[in-house]
Each structure stands twice: as C-alpha cells, then as structure tokens.
C-alpha cells in the first residue's frame, strides 16, 4: 500500500465524478483492502508491535484457529508461529513472495509494511495468495528456464572472451624465440603494461593471448581491439562506452566499451601506433587513474584492466616526429617484447611448416599431409615479408590445390608469390653481383608502393589493399623508405 504522497502524485485531477482527490484516495484504499480481503485465502493486519488488529473471516478457518475476535491483540506469532510479520514491521521492508509452512500445509504469502504520510511504520499487512505452492509451478518453471538461458548466455560469452592460444602455440626452437617466450612468461607474472613490437604476421596477438592465459587474470576476459580496423570517429565510444541517450541514435540502455568488457582481465590494443593524439591523451589518463568516462556521461567508472599493446610501427621514431605521445609511450613500454621476423628464424621453418600443415588439414577436413625436403628447401628461398601469416596462406593454398600426401617443391613453386624485385621469365636480370640485395629489395618496394598509390589516387588504405599488406605496414614502409607521397595524391 503506497504512502499518501505516492497516491497524491498519481491523482492529477482535483475532481472526478463529483468526488475530490482525497475522497478518491480513501475510496481506493478501502476498495483495495476489500478486494484483497475477498480474493485472498487469508489476510491479516498487525500494528507497530506486530500485534494482530484485524483478520478476514477465512484466515482462522484456513489455519484451524479459534474465532477472529480471540486473536485480536495477540502477538502474531501466537496465532501464526512461522510468521515473518514482525520482521517486516521492524525493517520496514516488504517480503513480496514467500512460502510459509503451517503444520502440514504450505501457503504462498506476501507481506507489506504500512506507513503514514511521514514514512513512519504503523504496522503491516500479510496476505495468503495461494493455499498450494504448486499453483506457482508455471511461474517457477519460467523463472528457472530464464535463469538457465541467462547462465548459458553468460557461459558462451565467457568462452568467447577466453584465449585460444598458450605459449605452446608459439612454435619455435630458435634461440630468439626461446628467449622471447622466457621473457613473456616473466611478463605474465606481473600486472604491468606490455608493449609487443614486430612486423605484421609475426604472432603479436598470439603472444598477447599466451601472456594472458599464463597470468593470474587467466579466468578473466581477454578483449582485443584492432585500432587500425575501427574508424577514428568511433574509437572513443568503442573504448570507453556510451551513456544512455548520449546522442541521437544511441542505445537507450547505453553500451559498455572495451575497457568495461575487459574489467578484471586483459585488454589487447593491436596497432596502437594508428591511434590519434587526442585519443592517446584519454587512454593515458585511463591507464594512470584506472577510471573511464563513457561518451555523454559525467560519471567516472573504476576499471581493473591490464593493457597489452602491439604495433608494427617504430614508436620511438613516431615520438621523435611528434606523431605519438612520449608520456603514453613510456607508460606502455614498461615491459617490451620483440617478435622476430620469419626470415631471422629459418631454422624454425620445418617445425612451423609441420605445425601449420597439421592445423590447416584439421580445419579444412583434409587427410594428413607432410612437407617433403624439397618443399622445405623451396620455402627457405623466400624472404617472407608477411612472415608466419604469409607462410600459412601459401601452405593453405597448396593443400587445397594438391592431392599429394607428401608436398614437394613443384607444388610449392606453383603457389609461391613472385619474389620482390624478380623479373618476368625470358628477361635478363640487370643486376650485377656488386649491387647490394637490400638496395634491390628497397627499390622494388619503393616502385610497388608508388604504383599502388597512383592507382589508388593517393588513398593509403586502398593502396595497402592493392599491396596485400595492412595500412599500418604501409605507413611504416613509407617512413622507412623516406617516400614523398604528396605527388601521388589528387
């Protein structure tokens, strides 16, 4: 039963049917009590000392008690030993749905406090809704089904936020790889930020997942964000979330950002070098204060997140050029790990090839295959600018286009990309032995990038697609080669 003030707020008209609002409120009170008394299997009212002041006629009969008048003034427990009416009176809090045992019977009951206009507790009212709890079976069944569906959804979401890779997934016995995994295991035992540097395709995200899986946060979520893949205008909302109704078209309930989703776990920021200076400032504050402020909100929310960042760009050069905040770089660069390119770990090629062939065959439902010695030797002759990712791509093409149980050089040759700087068949290669191989590769890269930029009318994202590399890798190569791309733009 609401307070007088609550009822006053809903009764806007001052007169209706010849009655003023006060009369209507009183009529509503009387009608509600009368209806409940008629409909309920039992109704009792107690005062502030939990003494019975009124019972409907059916209640004593239902409980096998003496007449109603004999109960008036008695403590409620004298008539109903298992009653919780005294608890409602003392706490002022309702018990909306409960099962009360009385002898061999059980009743579904609800208990509500009675308060005056000033909020003082004057008593309580208790009602028997059903004399058989089994009548609640459909409601309970639906509740249990909804709880099971919620638990299943939470389980699937938790599984989606778990890592797929461990340190065993980082295949390699090369000294550089073993040293890297040892350093990464030490990093996993800490809570400090980690910065992973390396060329595209060298396994930076795999290493980040392995660090999380080996850390005390392993049971928490692992949330990955590829900064280069999200439009600049959406990054802030993606990171920090959106408050309800923050802008036109925003979700009414708001939306959690990646920091909130990663609370208690790890947030992996891939291609951190592509982040704008404005967002870098907000990220730095979040890392320092461990608080986020959703878009459109004035309230700060605490978060407990470990950040692992990765990039294929030279962050130190970007800091020197004013393209990356020095304070954020030092904040992220507490523990630094460098993933070696594939061309520097060719002794791992047989092991990597075997691992990738087995994984691809399982994923594609193919019979087991092996790499022959001539195939491995052919793979060694490529410089692998795309690293392990490019190797996996070549091997998948070969496996899908071959029926051989043992792959040999000829099958690899047909699927290998043309080496950078190579010349079409039949043409002489105008390169003397005195020319440095690095110069040949750099000149070939320079020509390919400029040609792609011309075809894309200066659009670097489109040029990166034409070259088959990421946008971040393209920026890195442009900077490393010292290219002036302004003449290739419209």
What proportion of the chain, given as a percentage, has pLDDT over 90? Answer: 37
pLDDT tens per residue, range 83-117: 899 999 999 999 888 888 877 777 888 899 988 88
Strands (E) located in 10-120? 15-16, 19-20, 42-47, 52-55, 95-102, 105-115
Same domain, 200 and 225: yes
Q: Express each pLDDT in 351-386 by its tens digit.
A: 999 999 999 999 999 999 999 999 999 999 998 999
Q: Is the same domain home to 300 and 251?
A: yes
Say if residue 223 is in the same domain as residue 261: yes
131 shares a domain with 260: no
Q: Are residues 301 and 326 in the same domain?
A: yes
Q: How many structural domains compose the chain?
A: 4
Residues spanned by the domain of 124: 40-136
How does strand 301-302 pair with strand 291-292?
Answer: antiparallel
Domain boundary, last residue among 306, 338, 370: 338
What does the alpha-carbon distance between residue 45 and residue 240 come to, in Å, rounded to a whole number? 51
The pLDDT value recorded for residue 158 is 57
Instruction: Report which of 188, 354, 161 is spatially closest to residue 267, judged by C-alpha positions.
Output: 161
Q: Do residues 183 and 119 both lie within one domain?
A: no
Strands 105-115 and 121-130 turn out to be antiparallel
Name the pLDDT band for 243 (thresholds 50, 70, 90): confident
336 pLDDT higher than 90: yes
How high is the pLDDT of residue 212? 94
Neighbours of 284 (CB within 10 A): 17
Residues 390 and 284 in one domain: no
Whether 202 and 240 map to the same domain: the answer is yes
Q: Which of 415, 446, 471 is the last residue in one of the domains?
A: 415
Same-domain check for residues 242 and 227? yes
Q: Buried b vs exposed e over 396-428: b needs ≥16 C-beta within 10 Å?
A: bbbbeebeeeebbbebbeebbeeebbeeeeeee
Residue 116 lies in a domain: yes
Residues 242, 391, single domain; the answer is no
CATH code for position 448 = 1.10.10
Question: Torsion angle of alpha carbons 345, 350, 352, 354, nearest 10°?
Answer: 180
- Same domain flag for 197 and 125: no
Taking the whole predicted model, whether its pTM rises above 0.85 is answered as no
- Which of 415, 448, 469 terminates a domain? The answer is 415
Residues 6+ apart with CB under 8 A from 381: none
């Amino acid at each position: 039963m609401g307070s007088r003030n609550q009822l006053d707020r809903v009764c806007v008209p001052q007169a209706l049917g010849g009655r003023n609002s006060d009369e209507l409120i009183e009529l509503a009170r009387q009608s509600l009590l009368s209806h409940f008394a008629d409909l309920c299997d039992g109704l009792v009212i107690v005062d502030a000392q939990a003494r019975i002041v009124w019972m409907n006629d059916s209640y004593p009969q239902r409980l096998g008690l003496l007449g109603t008048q004999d109960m008036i003034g008695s403590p409620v427990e004298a008539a109903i030993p298992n009653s919780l009416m005294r608890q409602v009176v003392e706490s002022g809090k309702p018990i909306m749905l409960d099962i009360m045992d009385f002898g061999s019977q059980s009743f579904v009951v609800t208990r509500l406090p009675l308060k005056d206009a000033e909020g003082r507790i004057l008593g309580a009212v208790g009602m028997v809704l059903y004399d058989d709890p089994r009548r609640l079976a459909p409601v309970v069944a639906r509740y249990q089904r909804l709880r099971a569906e919620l638990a299943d959804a939470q389980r699937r979401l938790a599984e989606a936020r778990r890592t797929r890779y461990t340190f065993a997934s980082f295949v390699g016995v090369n000294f550089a790889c073993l040293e890297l995994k040892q350093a990464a295991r030490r990093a996993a035992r800490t809570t400090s930020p980690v910065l992973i540097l390396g060329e595209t395709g060298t396994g930076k995200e795999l290493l980040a997942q392995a660090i999380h899986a080996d850390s005390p946060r392993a049971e928490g979520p692992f949330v990955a964000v590829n900064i280069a893949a999200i439009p600049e205008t959406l990054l802030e909302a993606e990171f920090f979330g959106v408050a309800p109704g923050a802008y036109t078209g925003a979700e009414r309930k708001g939306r959690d950002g990646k920091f909130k989703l990663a609370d208690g776990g790890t947030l992996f920021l891939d291609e951190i070098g592509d982040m704008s200076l404005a967002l870098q400032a907000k990220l730095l504050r979040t890392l320092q204060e461990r608080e986020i402020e959703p878009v459109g909100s004035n309230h700060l929310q605490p978060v407990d997140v470990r950040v692992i960042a990765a990039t294929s760009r030279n962050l130190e050069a970007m800091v020197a050029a004013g393209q990356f905040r020095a304070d954020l770089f030092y904040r992220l660069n507490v523990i630094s790990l460098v993933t070696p390119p594939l061309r520097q770990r060719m002794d791992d090629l047989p092991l990597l090839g075997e691992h990738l062939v087995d994984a691809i065959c399982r994923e594609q439902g193919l019979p087991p295959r092996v790499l022959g010695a001539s195939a491995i030797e052919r793979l060694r002759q490529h410089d692998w600018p795309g690293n392990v990712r490019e190797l996996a791509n070549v091997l998948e093409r070969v496996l899908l286009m071959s029926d051989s149980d043992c792959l040999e050089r000829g099958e690899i040759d047909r699927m290998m990309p043309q080496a950078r700087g190579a010349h079409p068949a039949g043409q002489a290669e105008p390169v003397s032995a005195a020319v440095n191989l690095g110069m040949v590769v750099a000149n070939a890269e320079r020509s390919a990038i400029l040609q792609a930029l011309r075809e894309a009318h200066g659009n670097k994202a489109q040029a990166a697609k034409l070259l088959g590399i990421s946008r971040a890798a393209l920026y890195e190569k442009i900077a490393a080669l010292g290219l002036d791309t302004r003449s290739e733009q419209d």
